């Protein structure tokens, strides 16, 4: 009789169908779980291996016993409880061992070998279960069918786990998000893997049952109640489905959590952590998508946004206030965005906005909304600040035909708006490219001038009002361009700061001034200005100490000048730097006092040796009573703090007389002497150079 014929003849058909359903459902869940075990590492993999073994063991054991309960040998039957439990443990332990080997990656054949172990566990479980099956008859086995059942179980189990390994390997080579492999291709292989595994389990059982022969010893007596056996089969089947369902739910929950994690990672990668707005990566993805919309006839406006007073807010109120201002402004910007509009934060205080627009009125409406949001005062604690912003607009395709050019042109327009205090919004114009090219050309020429020694230091005299004698000289950097002549420091110093050249230039000016001052007779002081970039990025105390040692200048003859805005960038670090410089014996002057912050706390906290009153106060002193009052107050402040005050920008005798009357200590300006090369100052007789010729000293 065929295997199929034996199954129909000896089994209750509905229990056979129930066993097949258990086998298929359990195999499907096992296939998904084993793929998950392949995709994990460490203790997490062990957990998935164990869960896979539990589901597989329940699948195998319940399939076997439901089918056994449907088997009708025609004699009384019973089950040995010890052997029944032992068969379940064999399925669990053997399955766990097989899945551990299959997912271990210890060798290329590990998946097949692990599958073979699982197949052996299925066979051992089945035949141990058969030993628990007690019948009143003589049992015999067909060895051919028995061996065939074991071979089918081992081969098809090995094939199932080998296919699972192949599916996982393909998924790993596929695309990924957030470092997690794309599992769609692996999921597609689940039906095949489950089918092979189900065939391994079912073939083992039903071929094994074909090998099982019973010759009854008695035809009369108490037969086992079929209804009770059927109820037991239904209970076992229910438990099998519960276990398989639990495994499936755990997998789906993990899948959901992983999907949420991937989405969370993607959101984090595309969002600004401080404000919650889209970040630079999100902006790049959005602008690429917008430029790819070739079927949209509307124009695309890119708006570069840079806050005007953000540095001032940070300096005066602290970085916590600056962060809160950014968060508040971000919420305002997010709330005003409409359909076909986009806003993102792309830097510290830099934002961008985009809009698809059909009419200029629509663009003007967005710009008005942006201005309103950015210029509305922001309250932080007890303070109220207004950040303000400069907006630069470039339009695609009118102003650019590529992403890079569009972004660059929006930046150029934004910088023009920043330089023009009368307009918050500036549209790109082709002339802006000429200005940008001119700045780049000037930066290249400045780098060449530094390398070729084309920069020079001029000196301007500083005079004591009380004695009318010279106190010292301020070293001032000058650049005579080979083609353009003298270029104003106000033009090339910002370029040097933008390109990082100021560090090399500042170090050169310091050394040049100290080297020349060593040989001055009388030994006047020399004052050297420090750039904010130089103060922030260079190890100034080390540079000053090295320069003094190399040139031989006495520390008390060197005076370093810096503005208050330089200090505000990092007050604690600035204080530490100034204290280290003071420890060398070098003097420190506060330059441009009266402009910027002019905080009294700065004078109290930092060890200044001189206050330099800004030239703007001196120029207005003769015609403005309020300015005169401010000068008087600054001079009184200097005297009370025992800090001498030097007034800059003296150009008339009336200005000098006014300052002398108010008790100013020192003055500097065109009236007393214009900046000049060292050899001209020596030629005028103001000082001499000891031990060498003037030309050699100035060379």
Alpha carbon distance 634, 129 (integer Å): 103
Same domain, 389 and 254: no
pLDDT band at 617 (very low <50, low <70, confident <90, very high): confident
Tell me, yes or no, whether 619 lies in a domain: yes
Tell me, yes or no, whether 487 lies in a domain: yes
69-78, 378-387, 662-671, range with greatest mean pLDDT: 662-671
- The fraction of the chain above a pLDDT of 90, given in percent, is 28
Tell me, yes or no, whether 438 lies in a domain: no
Tell me, yes or no, whether 435 lies in a domain: no
Same domain, 129 and 201: yes
Tell me, yes or no, whether 439 lies in a domain: no
Q: Per residue in 375-432, pLDDT tens?
A: 888 887 777 788 889 999 999 988 888 899 999 889 888 888 887 767 788 898 887 7
Same domain, 368 and 415: yes
Residue 223: predicted pLDDT: 45
Residue 276: predicted pLDDT: 86
Token pair 């029944």 is at which residue?
A: 84
Residue 222: predicted pLDDT: 46
Same domain, 502 and 375: no
Tell me, yes or no, whether 271 lies in a domain: no
Tell me, yes or no, whether 415 lies in a domain: yes
Same domain, 212 and 90: yes
Picking from 413, 429, 445, the residue at the C-terminal end of a domain is 429
Bond from prior residue into 522 cis (ω within 30 degrees of 0): yes
Same domain, 305 and 261: no
Alpha carbon distance 475, 675 (integer Å): 8
Tell me, yes or no, whether 272 lies in a domain: no
Picking from 265, 291, 306, the residue at the C-terminal end of a domain is 265
Task: Identify the CATH number of the domain in which residue 344 sits.
Answer: 3.30.70.270
Picking from 367, 396, 429, the residue at the C-terminal end of a domain is 429
Residue 180: predicted pLDDT: 44
Domain interval for residue 546: 454-698
Residue 241: predicted pLDDT: 59
Would you give the DSSP letter of residue 556? G
Same domain, 352 and 257: no
Residue 150 and residue 123 in contact, taking contact as beta carbons nearer than 8 Å: yes
CB under 8 A, 24+ apart: contacts of 332-339? 332/373, 332/374, 332/376, 333/277, 333/370, 333/373, 333/374, 334/276, 334/277, 336/369, 336/370, 336/373
pLDDT (average), residues 597-620: 78
Same domain, 479 and 421: no
Domain count within the chain: 3
**Neighbouring-strand partners of residue 593:** 595, 613
For residue 236, is pLDDT > 80?
no
Token pair 């050699």 is at which residue?
A: 696
| DSSP, residue by residue, 343-354 | EEE-SSSEEEEE
Encoded tokens for 275: 């404000």
Helix axes of 42-69 and 226-270: crossing angle, nearest 10 degrees:
160
426: left (phi over 0), alpha (psi -120 to 50) or beta: beta
Q: Higher model confidence: residue 472 or residue 243?
A: 472
Residue 8: predicted pLDDT: 41
Same domain, 167 and 200: yes
CA-based end-to-end distance of the chain:
116
Q: Per residue in 95-134, pLDDT tens?
A: 889 989 988 888 888 999 999 999 999 899 888 888 877 7
Q: Of the given ranges (313-327, 462-476, 574-588), which has the lowest mean pLDDT?
A: 313-327
Same domain, 599 and 487: yes
Same domain, 407 and 360: yes
Bond from prior residue into 255 cis (ω within 30 degrees of 0): no
Task: Identify the CATH number of the domain in which residue 460 sits.
Answer: 3.20.20.450
How many CB atoms lie under 10 A from the CB of residue 131? 13
For residue 545, what is the enclosing H or E element? helix 540-551
Same domain, 386 and 502: no
Query: 3-state DSSP: the chain helix, strand, coil percent, rounded to 5?
Result: 60, 20, 25
Encoded tokens for 684: 């005028």
Token pair 């369902």 is at which residue?
A: 245
Phi, psi of 373 (to 5 degrees): -70, -40
- The fraction of the chain above a pLDDT of 70, given in percent, is 82
Can you give the C-alpha Rg of the chain in angstroms?
44
């Amino acid at each position: 009789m065929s295997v199929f014929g034996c199954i129909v003849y000896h089994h209750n058909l509905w229990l056979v169908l129930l066993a097949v359903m258990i086998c298929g459902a359990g195999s499907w869940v096992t296939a998904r779980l084993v793929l998950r075990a392949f995709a994990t590492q460490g203790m997490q993999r062990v957990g998935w291996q164990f869960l896979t073994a539990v589901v597989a063991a329940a699948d195998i054991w319940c399939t076997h016993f439901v089918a056994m309960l449907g088997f009708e040998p025609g004699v009384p039957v019973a089950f040995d409880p010890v052997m029944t439990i032992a068969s379940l443990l064999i399925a669990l332990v053997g399955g766990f061992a097989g899945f551990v080997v299959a997912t271990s990656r210890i060798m290329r054949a590990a998946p097949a070998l692990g599958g073979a172990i699982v197949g052996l566990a299925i066979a051992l479980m089945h035949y141990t279960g058969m030993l628990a099956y007690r019948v009143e008859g003589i049992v015999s086995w067909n060895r051919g069918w028995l061996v065939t059942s074991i071979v089918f179980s081992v081969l098809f189990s090995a094939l199932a786990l080998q296919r699972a390994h192949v599916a996982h390997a393909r998924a790993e080579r596929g695309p990924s998000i957030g470092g997690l492999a794309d599992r769609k291709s692996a999921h597609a292989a689940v039906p095949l893997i489950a089918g092979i595994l189900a065939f391994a389990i079912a073939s083992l059982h039903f071929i094994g049952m074909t090998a099982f022969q019973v010759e009854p010893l008695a035809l009369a007596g108490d037969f086992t109640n079929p209804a009770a056996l059927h109820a037991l089969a239904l209970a076992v089947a229910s438990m099998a489905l519960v276990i398989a369902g639990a495994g499936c739910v755990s997998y789906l929950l993990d899948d959901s959590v992983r999907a949420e994690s991937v989405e969370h990672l993607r959101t984090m990668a595309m969002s600004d952590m401080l404000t919650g707005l889209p970040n630079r990566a999100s902006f790049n993805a959005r602008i690429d998508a917008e430029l790819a919309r070739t079927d949209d006839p509307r124009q695309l406006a890119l708006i570069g946004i840079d806050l005007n007073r953000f540095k001032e807010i940070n300096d005066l109120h602290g970085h916590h206030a600056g962060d809160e201002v950014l968060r508040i402004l971000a919420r305002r910007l997010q709330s005003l965005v409409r359909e076909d509009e986009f806003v993102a934060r792309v830097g510290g205080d830099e934002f961008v906005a985009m809009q698809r627009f059909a009419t200029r009125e629509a663009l003007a409406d967005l710009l008005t909304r942006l201005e309103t949001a950015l210029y509305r005062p922001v309250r932080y604690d007890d303070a109220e600040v207004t950040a303000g912003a400069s907006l630069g607009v470039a339009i695609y395709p009118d102003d650019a035909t590529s992403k890079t050019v569009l972004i660059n042109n929006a930046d150029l327009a934004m910088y023009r708006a920043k330089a023009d205090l009368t307009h918050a919004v500036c549209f790109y114009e082709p002339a802006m490219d000429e200005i940008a090219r001119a700045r780049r050309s000037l930066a290249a020429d400045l780098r060449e001038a530094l390398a070729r020694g084309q920069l020079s230091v001029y000196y301007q005299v500083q005079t004591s009002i009380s004695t009318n004698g010279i106190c010292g000289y301020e070293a001032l950097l000058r650049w005579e361009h080979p083609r353009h002549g003298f270029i104003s420091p106000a033009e090339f110093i910002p370029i040097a700061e933008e390109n990082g050249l100021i560090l090399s230039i500042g170090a050169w000016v310091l050394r040049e001034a100290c080297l020349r001052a060593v040989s001055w007779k009388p030994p006047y002081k020399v004052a050297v200005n420090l750039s904010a970039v130089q103060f922030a990025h260079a190890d100034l105390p080390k540079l000053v100490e090295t320069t003094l040692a190399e040139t031989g200048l006495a520390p008390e003859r060197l005076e370093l000048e810096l503005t208050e805005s330089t200090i505000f960038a990092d007050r604690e670090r600035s204080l530490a730097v100034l204290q280290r410089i003071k420890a060398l014996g070098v003097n420190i002057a506060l330059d441009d006092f009266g402009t910027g912050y002019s905080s009294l706390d700065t004078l109290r906290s930092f060890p200044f040796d001189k206050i330099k009153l800004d030239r703007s106060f001196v120029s207005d002193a003769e015609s403005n009573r309020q300015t005169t009052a401010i000068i008087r107050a600054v001079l009184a402040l200097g005297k009370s703090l025992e800090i001498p005050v030097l007034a800059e920008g003296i150009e008339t005798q009336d200005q000098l007389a006014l300052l002398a009357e108010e008790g100013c200590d020192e003055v500097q300006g065109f009236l007393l002497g214009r900046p000049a090369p060292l050899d001209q100052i020596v030629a005028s007789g103001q000082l001499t150079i000891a031990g060498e010729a003037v030309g050699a000293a100035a060379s």
